[in-house]
């Protein structure tokens, strides 16, 4: 799927490069997937096929380098991963712990390969891992290169919490050990800084808040509700992967409840996002619920959209909502909606309260409460002036405080402080 972390990392490297910084985006485990021009190198370290085989089949820990290079070919990894299969959690847990152990794990060849490439070819001043789950090589890199190491946390806890309890505890223990070699942990908001301090049992001063940013340029061309005539039939938008944790069923609950009210507008529902094989039955169930409720002609699923499709999506909606079950550490789609001039309605947890505080571009509702979500959506759809106010404030704030350029400036300032 198009990955939110990939979008953020790619936008950061593009913005750093425009500032004159020699920034290199290195894919790890799989090639990145983004809806913008991919600036990563055409090489994968810790290739997903390789690390899996090295975990499951001891022989692959000793095969010649030319076999490793073949297994790490980006096209091969894409082909293996294209169906979105979900590995056995028991296997995944052991693999995660092994990768976090770095040179002491089953993927020690991968640690050596990455460390040699960094020291002999790239010779960086700073190494920034985009999540802690791939940072098992931090100790080896620190020992060989002696450079500052940063780890950006982008929802690592969500993955860790899916592991069997024993593997989860072992993984957190391994992270606490490798944290000794990390100079800074970057998070996007105060909520996640405090949450991960407690989750990983690490000191507060190890965490640095750098607000999330996006490439706003394409979204500036979206007329938004600010510039286009008010629609006679307003449209509610949802753009995220179709999965239980993203709360699609809550939005469907709220939509059906609202439409059954006599004073509610006859709004449409526009859905888009990646549907993995493991969530196909869940998504189809939500579509069927809408049909059974009599709204078969009032909703549309666009599938996974590219950049042009995303811009088109935001140009067609009057309000945006992704009522997540979990506490989202990023909320990148919130910034995309606001940059497009479309207000948002979100649950009051995770990153969302701070994003609303920063942008003034939407409303918060009680988490996991479809009735309250329906109230907030209905109230906003019936108040065109309020929607205009939120849209104007949100778009202005994202451009000023949540652009990729601003994120790059703040990130570069942290790098410089650590180098000093």
One of 3.80.10, 3.40.50, 1.10.3470, 2.70.70 is the CATH number of 4-215+404-419, namely: 3.40.50
pLDDT digits (tens, 9 = 90+) for 252-276: 999 999 999 999 999 999 999 999 8
What pLDDT sits at residue 154?
A: 95
Q: What is the pLDDT at residue 226?
A: 66
The answer on pLDDT for 231 being more than 80 is no
Residue ranges of domains in the chain:
4-215+404-419, 218-401
Task: Say yes or no to pLDDT of 224 above 80.
Answer: no
Q: Tens of pLDDT along 124-151? A: 999 999 999 999 999 999 999 999 999 9
Percent of the chain whose predicted confidence (pLDDT) is above 90: 82
- The pLDDT assigned to 152 comes to 98
Span 297-314, average pLDDT: 95
In this prediction, residues 371-394 reach a mean pLDDT of: 96
pLDDT for position 398: 97
Same fold, 4-215+404-419 and 218-401: yes
If DSSP states are collapsed to H, E and C, what string results for the chain?
A: CCCHHHHHHHHHHHHHHHCCCCCCCCCECCCCCCCCCCCCCCCCECCHHHHHHHHHCHHHHCCCHHHHHHHCCHHHHHHHHCCCCCCCHHHHHHHHHHHHCHHHCCCHHHHHHHHHHHHHHHCCCCEEECCHHHCCCHHHHHHHHCCCEEEECCCHHHHHCCCCHHHHHHHHHHHHHHHHHCCEEEECCHHHHHHHHHHHCCCHHHEEECCCCECCCHHHHCCHHHHCCCCCCCEEEEECCCCHHHCHHHHHHHHHHHHCCCCCCCCEEEEECCCCHHHHHHHHHHHHHHHHCCCCCCEEECCCCCHHHHHHHHHHCCEECCCCCCCCCCCHHHHHHHHCCCCEEEECCCCHHHHHHHHCCEEEECCCCHHHHHHHHHHHHCCHHHHHHHHHHHHHHHHHHCEHHHHHHHHHHHHHHHHC
Specify whether the CB–CB gap between 378 and 265 falls below 8 A: yes
In DSSP terms, 209 is beta-bridged to: 187
Most confident listed range (50-64, 67-81, 83-97):
50-64
Query: Which tens digit of pLDDT belongs to each residue from 166-199?
Result: 999 999 999 999 999 999 999 999 999 999 999 9
In the predicted structure, residue 285 carries a pLDDT above the cut 70:
yes
The domain defined by 218-401 folds into Rossmann fold (3.40.50)
Residue 291 has pLDDT above 80, yes or no: yes
pLDDT tens, residue by residue, 196-209: 999 999 999 999 99
pLDDT at 290 over 70: yes
Mean pLDDT across the chain: 93
229 band by pLDDT with thresholds 50, 70 and 90? low
């Amino acid at each position: 799927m198009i990955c939110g972390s990939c979008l953020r990392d790619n936008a950061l490297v593009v913005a750093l490069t425009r500032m004159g910084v020699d920034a290199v985006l290195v894919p790890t485990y799989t090639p990145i997937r983004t809806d913008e021009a991919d600036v990563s190198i055409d090489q994968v370290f810790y290739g997903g096929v390789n690390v899996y085989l090295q975990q499951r089949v001891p022989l692959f820990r000793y095969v010649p380098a030319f076999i490793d290079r073949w297994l790490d070919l980006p096209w091969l990894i894409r082909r293996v991963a294209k169906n979105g299969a979900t590995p056995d959690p028991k296997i995944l847990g052991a693999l995660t712990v092994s990768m976090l152990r770095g040179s002491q794990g089953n993927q020690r060849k991968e640690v050596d390969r990455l460390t040699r490439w960094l020291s002999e070819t790239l010779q960086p001043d700073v190494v920034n891992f985009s999540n802690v789950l791939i940072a098992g090589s931090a100790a080896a890199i620190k020992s060989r290169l002696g450079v500052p190491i940063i780890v950006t946390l982008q929802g690592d806890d969500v993955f860790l919490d899916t592991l069997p309890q024993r593997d989860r505890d072992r993984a957190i223990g391994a992270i606490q050990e490798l944290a000794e070699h990390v100079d800074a942990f970057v998070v996007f908001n105060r909520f996640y800084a405090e949450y991960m301090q407690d989750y990983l049992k690490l000191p507060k001063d190890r965490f640095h808040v750098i607000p999330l940013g996006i490439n706003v340029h394409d979204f500036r061309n979206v007329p938004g509700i600010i510039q286009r005539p008010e629609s006679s039939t307003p449209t509610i938008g949802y753009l995220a992967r179709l999965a239980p944790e993203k709360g699609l069923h809550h939005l469907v609950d709220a939509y059906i409840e609202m439409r059954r009210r006599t004073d509610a507008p006859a709004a449409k529902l526009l859905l888009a996002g990646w549907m993995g094989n493991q969530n196909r039955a869940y998504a189809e169930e939500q579509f069927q619920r809408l049909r059974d409720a009599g709204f078969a002609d009032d909703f549309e699923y666009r599938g996974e959209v590219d950049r042009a499709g995303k811009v088109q999506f935001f140009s067609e909606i009057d309000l945006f909502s992704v009522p997540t079950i979990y506490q989202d550490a990023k909320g990148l789609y919130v910034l995309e909606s606001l940059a497009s001039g479309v207000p948002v309605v979100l649950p009051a947890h995770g990153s969302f309260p701070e994003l609303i505080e920063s942008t003034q571009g939407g409303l918060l509702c009680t988490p996991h409460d479809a009735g309250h979500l329906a109230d907030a959506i209905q109230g906003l759809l019936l108040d065109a002036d309020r929607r205009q106010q939120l849209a104007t404030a949100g778009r202005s704030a994202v451009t000023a405080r949540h652009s990729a350029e601003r994120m790059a400036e703040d990130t570069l300032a942290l790098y410089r402080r650590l180098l000093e």
